Amino acid sequence: AQSVSQHNHHVILSEAASLELGCNYSYGGTVNLFWYVQYPGQHLQLLLKYFSGDPLVKGIKGFEAEFIKSKFSFNLRKPSVQWSDTAEYFCAVNPVNRDDKIIFGKGTRLHILP
């Protein structure tokens, strides 16, 4: 069965530090990829997505993610985090032409120290 792995369950960083959250998936075919974010007390919302084209995708609030097909990865990055980035981040994968579902990872809880 397809799966999505987020290696870091809880990350603590200081403001201005660089961020990279890992996401790997287990499906060899074409995929659509997503990062969702849930800020404290708010709804889950889309941060960025990749469907095709440039594997480096830019999202809201200075986030970006790079799709590396050979590594089955879609890591999320931000060069300098802010206290307001404290949230839970979910990677999600849609295996195209295979059940056509969306599969979420378990999430990474990010805590930014002011």
Partner 1 sequence: EAGVAQSPRYKIIEKRQSVAFWCNPISGHATLYWYQQILGQGPKLLIQFQNNGVVDDSQLPKDRFSAERLKGVDSTLKIQPAKLEDSAVYLCASSLEVGWDNEQFFGPGTRLTVL
Contact residues toward partner 1 (CB under 8 A) are 4, 32, 43-46, 49, 51, 90, 92, 94, 99-107
**Cβ nearer to partner 1, comparing 51 with 83:** 51
- CA dist., res. 24 & res. 102, Å (int): 14
The distance of closest approach from Cβ of residue 19 to partner 1 in the complex, given in angstroms and rounded to an integer, is 19
What are the phi and psi torsion angles at 26 (to 5°)? -120, 80
* Smallest separation, CB 68 to partner 1 (Å): 20
Cα(106)–Cα(111) distance, integer angstroms? 16
Q: Tokens 């200075």: give the residue.
A: 62
Least distance (Å) between residue 32 CB and partner 1: 5
Phi, psi (5° rounding) for residue 70? -65, -20
Question: Between 47 and 112, whose beta carbon lies closer to partner 1?
Answer: 47
